[in-house]
Amino acid sequence: MNDCDMKCVMIINPELPIGVIANTSAILGVTLGKHIPEQVGDDVVDATEKTHLGIITIPIAMLKGDKDILKDLRERLYTPEFSDLVVVDFSDVAQSCNVYRDYITKSACVPEKDYSYLGIAIFGEKKKVNKLTGFMPLLR
């Protein structure tokens, strides 16, 4: 598929403090970059011959969804219909840990039904992403 057939969105809970929103989107973005490196473009050289590292080659729509919408969305993303999408979630379980090893340990003790999601990033076929998120307003 070419870039025109693909879509990338981040859905963030707008009720979070601005710093947590920024942190959530940064974490989602870094993880997306790891899992879709083919979407990161080549480095760019400007007119003064300064180099700028490549960025994602398609737009990322920033959408808002409250905790209930995020929870429902995450449940739908676990179904076989959407198994081909790249999905990154960031939850209260992850956010409460400063050391990744602690996150691994805590996550093993918390059932998914008890997670509260701060944000979710989705990348994949545009039609499928739109089916899941087409009703969501932009995060402004």
What is the pTM assigned to this prediction?
Answer: 0.94
Q: Determine the pLDDT at residue 84.
A: 97
Distance CA 35, CA 93 (A): 21
Distance CA 120, CA 112 (A): 14
**DSSP 8-state symbol, 3:** G
**DSSP 8-state symbol, 33:** H
Q: Determine the pLDDT at residue 4.
A: 86
Answer for the pair 18, 11: CB distance below 8 angstroms, yes or no. no
Residues of the chain below pLDDT 50: none
Q: Determine the pLDDT at residue 1.
A: 64
Q: Determine the pLDDT at residue 3.
A: 76
